[in-house]
Amino acid sequence: MSKYKIMKDSIGEIEVPADKFYGPQTQRSLLNFTIHNEKIPFALISAIATIKKACAIANNKANKMDERSMKAIINVCDMIINHELDDNFALSVWQTGSATQTNMNVNEVIANKANILDNTLHIHPNDHVNMSQSSNDVIPTAIHLMIGELINKKLLIAIDDLINVFKKVISDKTFDIVKVGRTHLQDATPITLHQEFSAFIDMLENNKQIILESLNYIYQLPIGGTAVGTGLNAPKGFDLNVCNELSKLTSYSYKVMSNKFHGLSSKDYVSNLHNSLKLLAENLYKIANDIRWLSSGPNCGIGEILIPQNEPGSSIMPGKVNPTQCESLMMLCIQVIANNYAISIANTQGNFQLNTFMPLIAYNVNQSINLLSDGMKSFANKCVYGIKPNEKRINHNIEHCLMLATALNSTIGYDKVSEIVKYAHKNGISLKKACLELKYLTSDEFDKIVDPKKMC
């Protein structure tokens, strides 16, 4: 048996692997774009299959598609979504900017597989599977669906889990310990460890709300715009019917985008959503970096917290343990921030009626959501859950903090307090001793005012 079958499209004949269900347009893309190894993510393929399913139902309601064809298309769409046909989807990200070849990849697989399952059918990739559609409205709609699915089923869960781990960790009474605050990397007035970590929780909670607000725009779909936004070849009400079906299939409330010319030519809703991911990445970087610094040492760094020792940290220095979870999270945050720049530039390329950088946008937003989701899960489970205060080091640092003198400002004034601090630092003595030697306060007066706990 031949390893290939001869198939034909508008350009001519081409050999296609006999064991694959895709057709000539997919094969031409595989041959023309052998560029590195970045492939269209399955999450986008699954979203396109979901759209094809909804469109088949909408076309049937509009009396454009018969019942048997609709059911056959739905059957293969379900097979795709359930990963039964994964080896048919291997197109490069670096293809046509409209991702037409990816849309046709799905169309061809659905049509050819359906015809094999029922040889009495004659389903055509363009005429039936792509009925009332264009790649130009399918792909942006699929990007929105992919984002909605990944954000709801992965990212938001990971954010909540990380928040809950932080809350559980700081609920321990040991986190009420008073420690040195720091500004400009220098000693500042006291803060409790609980207060310091509470900022992390609030950042993440606000990031979640910003993402949810951005997601409201993603729930608007340009499907039904077909080639340029006019809706050519789509029946009246098709857009609304497809959105209703997609809402049923996904359990999210999708609605028709008010201006489909906007939806096809601009990816600003996706760029806006990714901006919210960038903000999350920025905060996660700050959180991981703070924890990395606070745990530095163990003897020659700040060393105010202890983190889990998950693996050896050096191939040459025995016993060394590094903040690897922090470093991992920080690296992926940098990647997300870089992805945001790429998406921003790609969004500018909506020349006239179509953005032609959509594979890049889809690939980067998919990668960002997965990186952040997996990264937060690993960080929560392998680092945050095991954080403990190093009480001995914290107490030592607070006892030697010259900025405790700030509490004296309202009693003896800024200038005299500055003199006390400089005198103590120069002579290597405590603030109290400096204050007494300069004869600004008595011992009892100093103790009454300079109480680290009250300063928090």
DSSP, residue by residue, 91-149: -BSSS-TT-HHHHHHHHHHHHHHHHHH-TT----IIIIITTT--HHHHHHHHHHHHHHH
Please, are residues 363 and 38 in contact by the beta-carbon 8 Å criterion? yes
d(CA 429, CA 309): 37
Among 71, 132, 142, 70, smallest CA distance to 106 is for 142
62: CB partners within 8 A, 6+ apart: 132, 235, 237, 238, 241
Give the pairing type, strands 178-183 and 186-192: antiparallel
Residue 228 DSSP one-character state: T
CB environment 49-88: b (16+ within 10 A), e (fewer): bbbbbbbbbbbbbbebbeeebbebbbebbebbbeeebeeb
Give the pairing type, strands 255-256 and 220-221: parallel
Q: Which residues are catalytic?
A: 184, 314
Give the pairing type, strands 255-256 and 4-8: unpaired
Please, are residues 111 and 72 in contact by the beta-carbon 8 Å criterion? no
d(CA 41, CA 93): 9
d(CA 158, CA 154): 6
CB atoms within 10 A of CB 416: 17
Residue 87 DSSP one-character state: G
d(CA 38, CA 309): 34
Alpha-carbon Rg for the chain, nearest whole angstrom, is 30
